[in-house]
Structures are given as structure tokens and as C-alpha cells.
Structure 1
Amino acid sequence: MDKTVGHKSAYAYLYPALDPFDRRMLDVGGGHNVYVEQCGNPNGIPVVVLHGGPGGGCSPAMRRYFDPSIYRIVLFDQRGCGKSRPHASVVANTTWHLVADIELIRQTLGIDDWVVFGGSWGATLALIYAQAYPENVRALVLRGVFLMTQPELDWFYGGGAGRFWPELWDRFASLVPVDERDDFVAAYHRRLFSGDHAEEVKYARAWTAWENALAAIGSDGMTGDAPAEYARAFARLENHYFVNGGFLDKSQQILHPDQIAKIAHIPGVIVQGRYDMICPPDSAHKLSKLWANSHLIMVARAGHALSEPAISAALVHCMDRYNSAQSFTGL
């Protein structure tokens, strides 16, 4: 793999834009309807794309990491975000609901097994799904690994990342009274679920801006205000999951020996930005050491975002390699 990526945008490394051949709303229960789309080759290698957040939703660019003549590309908006409805709802919205939704989508589309492709929270969900249904996963392709652990939350919401971005951390922290600053996730939770829409949007935009500002290695920290309803869904869902520890008990932790054993046979690749401020590389490194059938690609000059050119180049290369060899050997 050529590890030198020039000053191109991420889009330069992607396949051309394409439209879905199938769009649908799927009733997944609990009052939720999930938006699902399919692109590419209806008879191709199935791949399901899991977006980040929780609450980020899919974008048309996510269709373009795969050769559309080879892959049957399945995207969906997780409960409560994107085109799924009800918007910003946390009712019947847990990790295990999302795992069940992925499996229902697979069954509904008549897919035997598929490649699971996810970044950030999408990588978390990909791993948990694979551990729940290992027989249905051909391979895992992960980016910006997040393992849904308390130390990771402490890093990002407890001042660790703020030591590198002190002026932006001050902006995020200053909205919380001093006597509540021992737990910013809980403090924001109270305001994101206050029932006052204006207050919820205010704190949602601050929550979203803190994360967006640190996503790319070349960021100047000036993200602007996210659209109100996007920010409200993103922040409420993300905070809801984090307040609840991802709905994982001790035995369900991704790196628990019993859970790692379930995916030991599944081939996988991990694409990780060396300077990822949101999901630092030690999580990807720990995962790769325990998961014997994985291959870790540490991208030298990249942060967290899918839109990082070197990250996009590496992911497209991995998917091209898999479609030609059905493995990641030789990357």
C-alpha cells in the first residue's frame, strides 16, 4: 500500500457519486422506523456501513468507499437520527436495539453474511454486532476505534483532550456551573433533556462543536454552529449512550476474553489515525493485540475524521484488496 498521500481532498480517493437502487423505511419496533438504502451491484459482495455518533447519520459520501460494480452497499440511519423517525428519540434506543436492527436489515434484504464497515461509534457497533452474530460477518473494516469504555469518555469529556485544545475546552466547559464540572456528561445530560427546546439546542450545538472541532488533524477549531435539529439528535443520542455506558455490562465489554474469542476467526482491518484526538490510538492497538486475525494500519498524518484524505485512501485500498483477494493479507 502506498502510504504517501498528497494534498488532495478525501473525495479524490473515492469512487464516483452514485444513487441508491433501493430506498425504504423499515419498521423495527418500539415506535421506530429506520431508513435503509442499497447502492452498487445488487448481486455483489454485501457490505453494511455503520455510521458514527451515536446519532451521526449516513451521508452520500459513505457510498463511495466501495467499487459499485463489486459491492452491494447497504447504508442505514440508526434509530433517532438522519432520515429515521422519530427524530432525536432515545425511547427504545440502546446498543442492543441497534444490533437487532442490523440483523433485521440483513434478514429483510435476504443477505446470508456481509462485510461490516464502521468508524468511531460505528466501529464499536460493528464489533458488538460481530460478537453477537459472528456467523453472519465475513469481515470487519474499522476506522477510528472506540471501545465504549469509561477511560475513553474520561479522556474526551474529562479534560484530557482539552489539554491540547484548551481554548475550545474552556468554551465547552464554561457552559456548565463550576459545581457540576466533575461530570460533564451528566451535566450536559440534564440540559439536553431539560424539555426546553431552546436550551436543548444551545447545549447540543456546544456538545457537537467540541467533537467536530477535534475531528480532523488540520482543524482550526472553527466549526460554526451545526443545524439545530441535526445537533439536537446527535448530542442527545450520543449523550444518552454515554450516560448509560453504552448499555454494556462487564461481561459484554468488547475486549472481554469471551467476547474477543467470538470474533477470533473473522478477518479484519483497523485504520487508525496516529493523531486521533477523539479516539486515541491506544484503543485500536489494544484491540489489534487481542484480535489475532486483524491487521492494524496506523495512518501517520491523520486524525479521527472519515474525511481525512489519508484515512479515506487507506479505507478504499482495503476494500479494493478485499474484493480481489477476499482477505487483507498483503496490505
Structure 2
Amino acid sequence: MTPVFAAIEPYATGMLPAAHGAELYWECSGHPGGAAALFLHGGPGAPMSGGYRRQFDPHRWRIVYLDQRGCGRSRPLAHQVLGSLATNTTDQQIDDLELLREHLGIERWLLVGGSWGVTLALAYAQRHPDRVTGLALAAITDGAREHLEWITQDMRRVFPREWDEFAAAAGRRPGQRVLDAYLERITDPDPTVRVAAAQAWCAWEDVHVSLAPGWTPSTRYPDPEFRAQFATLVIHYWANDCFLPPDGIRSGMPAIATIPGVLIHGRFDVSGPLSVAWDLHRAWPASRLVVLDDSGHGGPSMRESLAAAIAELGEAGATR
């Protein structure tokens, strides 16, 4: 990640026992007595190394992070224990976050997230608005069915050759959604079927974020373990509408109307159209929208803008 603050290491880590036999890896870094901020990674199923910490002033923030259920250092891993998918839902992840907050003795915290982490942060805030001081969000997603189908179906209008390859690898039946076909393949009893599905899925993931200036293929997808973990959880969530209403988190926006937030989005993010961020901003009176003309679904200026939003919301939270 682009350096903003100096690299730091956690001062505390742990494995938190959670519902349905899960154990959640968590870590805290920065200032133990500082204002609390929770960083939510993307995916689902794309845990991060310590680079996320460099977007926070370590002298000001108590930075909390966890590998979300089913991925990273949390256990069990979804792609290794497919039966665990039955209890891996957005509601359960919200409960996991509350469990962690209580375990760490945090009263309220700033929520920071990117991509899927945006949807999860908004879903949590709508459920527990009294626990949230603000939201700093980048690469905006809302979990709506129409936007999941845009990525997996309608994006053929932008990348026809690549989408045809993606759809062919799904082995779908006549009339079957590509997404549903991939769910069958990524949970198939035959591991060779799952491996092929994960590889094809991640190849498509690289395609639909490729319009940004300076784009290069992801360095994570060549790792077969990452591919399996990531594809299993993304497909599971997307095929189930992210376990949200058809409009995702949009109908719940009145619950956070007065909570300050910053929405950061790249103009080249074709997989998450700018209209997603715009519509959420219009439905959220206390939000500010930042549109980056040099970014797609990430990038250096997005990371710098997120660090600035964290600082801004820290000042706002101190006066609330």
C-alpha cells in the first residue's frame, strides 16, 4: 500500500471463539488508549497484511482488525470446510463484530472499509448506529442484486470476449445464471472442479477492474490457496445476494442519516459504477462524496484519500 504513516506492528493479537465453532483472528495496533477504529477488509474472503495500518496516525488511533469469518488466520477456512458456509452470513459477521467490540471493551468506533468492507460496514452501522462514530469508505459497494448481476452478467457489454470465457468455464445449464453455476462448481465434492472454478473466477475478477490507469494483474491470484478461499466466499455471498434484501443496504440508510461519513470512489471503477456511490451519498445527508479521476477499484490516490478521511472523521468524532 502507498505509505502514509510509518509501518507498525500489532501490540496485541488473539483468537476469539465465536458462534458455530469459529475462531476469529484479531489484532490491535497503534495507541492502546486512542480512539478506536475498525478496519474491514474486502472480498468477502480477501484478508490483508499490515499495510492497512499505514492509513492511520498510530499516535491517535487504536486500530482494530480481524480476518473475517472463513478466511485468513481465522478458522475454519471456508474452502477447506465447506459445511461452514451454512453459518457464514452477513448477519453472523455483524454478530462477530459486536462480539469483538465487547471483547476489547470498546464503546464506539470508527468504521473503515473498502469494497465488500463498505457493504459490511454499512450493514453493521445500520444495525448498531449507537456504536459508530463515523464511516470512512472506499471503492463503494452496496450489496444490491442489480450490481452483483452487473458484475457477473451485464459486464459482458464491456468485456465480451473475456465474459464468454468466464461463462463457458461455469458449465452452466440452459437458463442458469453464471453465478449459480459457479456456486455449484466451487462447492463440488470433486476438488479438481473447485480448483478450476476458482481459477476461472479470479481471472474474471482481474478483468473487470482492469480499466484503471496503470492497472496490473493482482499479485494474490497466482496463489492457489488464496484463489480457493477468495472465490469460495465471494461466490457464496454473491449467489445469496450478500444475505441482504434485493436492494442491499440502500433501504437501511435512514438509520445512519446523522452519522458522518466519507465515500471515496474511482471514476474508472466500472465493476462498481460511480452511480452506486452517488446514490448512497444522496440517501445519506451526513456524507461527503470524493470522486477520484485517476482511480478504479483502488489505487494510490484512493489510499491517500482514505487516510485523509480517517483523519477528518477523527476530528469530527472528537467534537460529537
- On whether the aligned pair clears a TM of 0.5, the verdict is yes
Q: Which residue identity lines up with residue 31 of structure 1 in the other structure?
A: G
- In the TM superposition, residue 87 of structure 1 has moved relative to its aligned partner by 0.6
Deviations 1:155-210 (A, max 9, x none): 100032x3333343233222133644751100111110001112112111221221
For residues 294 and 157 of structure 2, what CA distance do their matches in structure 1 show? 20
Q: 1:263 — aligned with what?
A: 256
Deviation track 1:27-83 (CA, whole Å, cap 9, x = no partner) reads 112011110000100011100011111111122111111011110000101110011
What letter matches 2:92 in structure 1?
A: H
Matches within 5 A, 1:9-48: 10-12=1-3, 14-48=4-38
Separation (CA, whole Å) in 2 of partners of 1:260 and 1:323: 22
Q: Pick one of 35, 41, 56 that aligns with 1:51.
A: 41
Residues 1-331 of structure 1 aligned to structure 2 (within 5 Å): 10-12=1-3, 14-88=4-78, 89-160=84-155, 162-177=156-171, 179-180=173-174, 182-215=176-209, 217=212, 218-219=214-215, 225-249=221-245, 253-256=248-251, 259-305=252-298, 308-326=299-317
**SS across alignment from 2:2:** helix
Aligned to 2:294, the other structure's residue is in SS state coil
2-structure distance, mates of 1:246, 1:112: 27
8 Å Cα contact 2:172/2:181 also seen in 1: no
Secondary structure at the residue paired with 1:124?
helix
How far is the alpha carbon of 1:97 from its aligned partner? 0.4
- Structure 1 residue ranges without an equivalent (≥5): 1-9
Structure 2, unpaired ranges of 5+: 79-83
SS in 2 for 1:115: strand
The normalised TM-score by structure 1 is: 0.89
Amino acid aligned to 2:13: R
Contact kept in structure 2, 1:211 and 1:278, CA below 8 Å: no
- Shifted more, 107-116 versus 203-212: the winner is 203-212
Over 6 Å off, 4+ runs: none
- Checking the alignment, whether the CA contact within 8 Å between 1:47 and 1:116 is kept in structure 2 is yes
Matched positions, count: 312
Amino acid at match of 1:176: A
**Residues 268-307 of structure 1, C-alpha deviations (whole Å, 9 max, x = no match):** 00001111122111111000001000000011111002xx
Q: Secondary structure of 2:250's partner? A: coil
Query: Match for 2:21: what amino acid?
Result: G
- RMSD over aligned Cα atoms: 2.0
Find the aligned partners of 1:132 and 1:293 in 2 and give their Cα distance: 17
Query: TM-score scaled to structure 2, two decimals?
Result: 0.91
2:63 partner amino acid: I
Partner of 1:249: helix, strand, or coil? coil
Shift of 1:219: 2.5
What letter corresponds to residue 119 of structure 1 in structure 2?
A: G
CA contact (8 A) 2:38 2:109 kept: yes
